[in-house]
Amino acid sequence: MDAKILIESFAEFARSKNVDRPTMIRILEDVFRAMIRKKYESDDNFDVTINADKGDLEILRIREIVDDNSEDIWDHDKISLSEARKLEPDFEIGEETYERIELEDFGRRAVMMARQTLIQRIKDLEKDILFQQYEELVGEIITAEVYQILGREILLMDSDGNELILPKSEQIPKDRFRKGDTAKAIVHKVEMVNGNPRIILSRTSPIFLERLFENEVPEVYDGLITIKKIVREPGERAKVAVESYDDRIDPVGACVGMKGSRIHAVVRELQNENIDVINYTDNLDLYVSRALSPAKVSSIQANEEQKRLSVFLKPDQVSLAIGKGGFNIRLASRLVGYEIDVFRELSEYEEEEDVDLSEFSDEIEDWVILELKKTGLDTAKSVLALTKEDLTRRTELEEETIDEIFRILRTEFEQ
Task: Write the pLDDT tens digit of every residue in 361-402.
Answer: 888 888 888 888 877 788 888 888 888 888 887 777 888 888
CATH of domain 3-125: 3.30.1480
User: Tell me, what's the pLDDT at 1?
Assistant: 53
Report the DSSP beta bridge partners of residue 344.
Answer: 313
Q: Do domains 3-125 and 283-343 have the same CATH topology?
A: no
User: Tell me, what's the pLDDT at 415?
Assistant: 57
Dist CA 308 CA 177 (whole Å): 41
Dist CA 387 CA 139 (whole Å): 40
Angle between helices 108-135 and 21-40 (to 10 degrees): 140
Say yes or no to pLDDT of 352 above 60: no
Element (H, E) at 403: helix 399-414
Return the SS3 of 388. helix
CATH of domain 214-280: 3.30.300.20
Q: How much is the CA Rg of the chain, to the nearest whole Å?
A: 37
Percent of the chain with pLDDT over 70: 97
Dist CA 93 CA 81 (whole Å): 6
All structural domains of the chain with their residue ranges: 3-125, 137-204, 214-280, 283-343, 348-414
Average pLDDT score over the chain: 87
Dist CA 179 CA 238 (whole Å): 29
Which pLDDT band, with edges at 50, 70 and 90, does 345 fall under? confident
Say yes or no to pLDDT of 61 above 70: yes
CATH topology of domain 137-204: OB fold (Dihydrolipoamide Acetyltransferase, E2P) (2.40.50)
Side-chain-side CA neighbours of 256 within 13 Å: the count stands at 16
Angle between helices 261-269 and 206-216 (to 10 degrees): 140
Which whole number is the average pLDDT over 126-155?
92
User: Tell me, what's the pLDDT at 349?
Assistant: 40
Which whole number is the average pLDDT over 80-109?
87
Contact 84, 97 (CB under 8 A): yes
- CATH architecture of structural domain 283-343: 2-Layer Sandwich (3.30)
Summarised one tens digit per residue, pLDDT across range 1-24 is: 567 777 877 777 777 777 778 888
Rounded to 5°, the CA angle 307-245-333 comes to 20
Say yes or no to pLDDT of 160 above 90: no
Q: Give the number of other Cβ atoms within 10 Å of residue 191's Cβ.
A: 11
Sign of CA dihedral 230, 231, 232, 237: negative
User: Tell me, what's the pLDDT at 259?
Assistant: 87
State pTM to two decimals: 0.67
Say yes or no to pLDDT of 347 above 70: no
User: Tell me, what's the pLDDT at 348?
Assistant: 46
